[in-house]
Amino acid sequence: MKMAELGSAKRLGIQPKFCLVPLDLYDTALVVFGYGAGMSGYPATPNNDVNPYGGNGNGLGLLDPAVTRPIPVPVPEWTDLTDWAYLVDPQIFPVIQMSYAQSPGGGSHPAPELFSVASSTSGLMFSNDVLPVKVRDWFAYGVSTWRGIGKRNVA
């Protein structure tokens, strides 16, 4: 939430929706973000950790729509236990975008271009019983803005 606007000190105040963590830190992230139902062990003993899989009192756990804290997402490919990343709600800042060559301005995926050789003089349909068809769909994807996405490599 402390991310500042580029070229100024004004903070954006955008709360992350997702926190990407290594698989080994998934349980720790659940506890740190306060998921779970109260004390799972015995009070005043070392065995009194929060149960991260216990829910939030309404039985929904991570699916609780009223929860505004980040949702931990485990990334099995990450092996360094000090790395983490965050991503805001895509409805607020869509940081990962797809673009299509046939749709300037974006917004929707147009139908791919279809090309066929259906000419009777081409010879392929008569001699080989072949209908050549080419489908062309040009697209690209990537991070479109720095707002609302970040990764920390600590080590």
Summarize pLDDT for 36-70 with one digit per residue, the tens. Answer: 655 555 556 665 666 665 555 555 555 555 557 78
Average pLDDT over the chain reads 76
Q: pLDDT tens for residues 70-81?
A: 889 999 998 888
Tell me if 118 is assigned to some domain: yes
Residue 96 has pLDDT above 90, yes or no: no
Q: What is residue 20's predicted lDDT score, i.e. its pLDDT?
A: 92
Number of domains in the chain: 1
Q: Which domain holds residue 110?
A: 102-137
113 belongs to a structural domain: yes
Residue 125 lies in a domain: yes
Q: What is the side-by-side strand order in the sheet with 71-75?
A: 71-75, 16-22, 84-88, 149-152
- In this structure, are residues 31 and 50 in contact, taking their beta carbons and an 8 Å threshold? yes
